[in-house]
Amino acid sequence: MVAIRIENLTKIFKAIAGSTIAVDDLSLEVHEGEFFTLVGPSGCGKTTTLRIVAGLETPTHGNIYFDGDRVTELPPQKRNVSMMFQNVALFPHMTIAQNIGYTLRIHKIPRTEIEKRVKNVAEMLGIADKLKMKPGQLSGGQRQRAALGRAIVGETGILLMDEPLSSLDAKLRAEMRTEILRVHRRINATIVYVTHDQVEALSMSSRIVLMKDGKCQQIDTPAGLFNKPTNVDVATFIGTPSMNVLSGRVIRKDERMGVEFLGATLPLSDEAASRLDDTQNVLIGIRPQLLRLRAKRESAQDIPVTIDVIEPLGVEQQVSVKPEYGPEITVVREEASDFKEGGVGYLSFEYKNAYIFDDESGQTISFTL
Amino acid sequence: MTRRRLQTIVIYVGIIFVVLVMGFPLYWMVKTSVEPPTTLFSPPYSYIPTTFSGENYRLLLFETYFPTFLKNSVIVAFFCTLISAVVSVLAGYGLTRFEFPGKKLIARGTLFSYMFPPLMLGIPLYIIFDSLGLRNTYVGLVLAHASIGIPLGTWIMWQYFQIVPKSLEEAAWVSGASRMRTLREVVLPIATPGIITVSTFAFAFSWNDYTYAKIFQDDITMFTVTTGINSFVERTAVHWGLIQAGATLITIPTLIIIVFLQRQLLESMAVGGLK
C-alpha cells in the first residue's frame, strides 16, 4: 500500500489554436489503502490527473510523491503502478493468460510462478476457464474482469482506474462495481478511480475529490459531499436527479429576516440569517427527494404548481412541475400516482432541508434556511 | 426486377471485356513460351497451342544470363523490401506517436514524394550514384528502389498506426515494458497486415522496376529480370520465345503474392483509405 501526494499540480496542453489548462493547481493526498475517486463532468481534468500519477503525462508544474518519494520525472515503467483503461486495452493478439501474466513476464518471474499467480487471479475473478481464449472471444464483462486481473496480478501498491466501467451496460456495471470493491478488500493496494458517474463515486469510494475546470471543488467522504456541499456546483453534481436551484432574495420584515422565492416568503433561521445581508440575492437549493407535492393546499406557504411531466421509476416517481414564477422543479415522490399531467399540485418542504448559496460565487452560505 | 437483371448483365459484360483485354496478352505470353520456337513465324497462327515444347525454357535457363538476372532481381527485391519495411514501420510509428512541429506536413509530404515519376529522380540519382561509385552495384539499385518504397510505406504505416489504440501501448508501459519492447510485442503484431502491405508494394515495385535498373546498371551481369529480358531484343533479331518464357517466369512470384495475401492487402488498403 502506498500513499500518494499531489502537490500544486498544473497541466497545460499547448496547441496552435491556444492552450488549455487541464489541471489547475491541484493539491491533494490519498491515504494508503484508500479507495479514492476523482469525479467530475467531462473535461474537468480528472483523467489527466490520473495519467500524470501513472506517468503517462508530464505535469507542467507541481509534483507527485509516492510514500514521500518524488516520482514526478519517473517514466510509467518505473513507477510500479498498475492501471485499468477506459477501453479495456487487452492485447488482442495474446490469450487472456498471456494478457494477465504480461507484467510478470516483463519482470522476469519464473514461468511456473507466473502460471500459478495468473490462475489464482483468474479464479478469484471467475474467468479461469477463459485463460486460453483471445480477448475477442470474450463478452464485455469477461474482458473487463481480465483487464482487472491484469491490473492486480502484479500486486503493485497503487491501482489506477480510468473509467473502467463506462463501456458496460447498467447491469454489468453494477456487478463489476461489486467485483472491484471485493477485490479492493482482498488486495493491499491504494486505488485511485476516475469516473464521471457520481453514483459510482458515491457507492464505491472512501473519499472523493470533485473537480471542475481543472480545479478541486471539494474533497470529502461520499456522505460529506452529499450533505455538506461547499458550493452550488458540487450540490448539483452529486445526487440524482440534480438538486433544484432557484433564485431568491433576502428581505427584512419586522426585524425578522426571510427569503422570497417562487412568489412565497419563507422565514430564515437565526443561524442562516446571521450569515446574510438584507436584500442579498441568493440561490436556494432543494433536493428533489425532500420536496413534498400534495393535491391540496395545507399551508399558506405551499407553492401552487402545474404538473408537467410524470416519469415512473418503479417504486418512486419523478415529477417535473412548473410554478407560476421561476424555472421547472423536479420532485421525487414515493406515493402512488394520484396526479395527472397538466393538473395542479402544491409544493412544500421542510426548511432544514434547503441550502443557501451565494448568488455570485456559488459558495454555500448555510445548510438550512 | 428486369432492371436489376439488366444491370447485372451490363456489369458482367463489362467484367468479361476487361478480363479479355487484360488477360489475353498474358495468355499469349504463356502460349508462346510453351510452343517450339520454330512455330513462331510459321502461319497459320492458332489461338490454342497445338505442339508443346520446353525448348524456350531450356535456352533461357541454360544458354542465357537469365539465372544471373533472376539472382540479381531476388537480391535487390529482397533488400528493398526489408529496408522499406523496417524504415516505414519506424517512421510511421514516429509520425503517429511523437509530437513535433511540421508532423502532418512531413506525413503528407511522404506521399507527395512517392508521386514523382521514377524517371525524374533517375537523372539526379544517376549523377549522385556515379560520383559515389554506386552504379552497377546492388547497394545503388536497392537504395533507388527503397526511395520509392519507403515514402509510400511510411504513409501506409502512418495511417495504420493511427488505428492502433494508444492505450494498448500505455497498458504495456505501465506493465513495465520499454518503448522498443512495446513496439515489438504489442504494436507490430497488431500492425502485421499493414507491414505485409508495405512489404508487398516494395517487393512489387522493385521486382517490376525497369526505369532505375536501366539507368543505373549497364553491365549485363548486373541486369535485373526486366532489363535482362529487354536484352533479348537484339539489333538483328528479337527472341520472342525467350522473352515470353522469361516474362512467364517473373510473373509467378507476383501471382503467388496476390493469391495468398489478397485479403490482408484489401484490409489494410481499406484502412489507408486507398480502396
Q: What is the pLDDT of residues B161-188, one digit of tens each?
A: 888 888 999 999 999 999 989 988 998 8
Pairing assessment for the beta strands A190-195 and A35-39 based on DSSP bridges: parallel
Count residue pairs from A and B with Cβ separation < 8 A. Answer: 57
Provide the residue ranges of all domains of chain B, joining segments of one domain with +: 57-274
Closest approach of B268 to chain A, Cα-based (Å): 17
- What φ, ψ does residue B5 adopt, rounded to 5°? -60, -40
> For residue B274, is pLDDT > 50?
no
First to last CA, chain A: 44
Close Cβ partners of A128 (under 8 Å, ≥ 6 residues apart): A119, A122
Whole-number pLDDT of residue B273: 42
Q: Which residues of A touch B (CB under 8 A)?
A: 54-56, 75-77, 79, 81-83, 85-87, 89-93, 102-103, 106-107, 150, 154, 160
Q: Which of A92-106, A128-142, A271-285, B50-64 has the lowest mean pLDDT?
A: A271-285
Strand order of the β-sheet with A207-212 is: A81-84, A158-162, A190-195, A35-39, A207-212, A215-220
Q: What is the mean pLDDT of chain A?
A: 88
Q: Which three cell numbers stand for residue A36?
A: 479514492
Residue identified by cell 553491365 is B219
**Interchain pair B174, A54: CB under 8 A:** yes
**pLDDT tens per residue across span A148-175:** 999 999 888 899 999 988 888 888 888 8
**Interchain pair B168, A107: CB under 8 A:** no
- For residue B166, the chain A residue with the least C-alpha distance is A89
Whether pTM exceeds 0.95? no
Which pLDDT band, with edges at 50, 70 and 90, does B1 fall under?
Answer: low
- For residue A148, the chain B residue with the least C-alpha distance is B171
Q: What is the mean pLDDT of chain B?
A: 87
Size of chain A, expressed as the number of residues it contains? 369
- Rounded Cα–Cα distance for residues A342 and A326 (Å): 17
B64 by DSSP, 3-state: which? coil
Which helix (H) or strand (E) segment holds residue A307: the answer is strand A303-313
CATH superfamily of B57-274: MetI-like (1.10.3720.10)
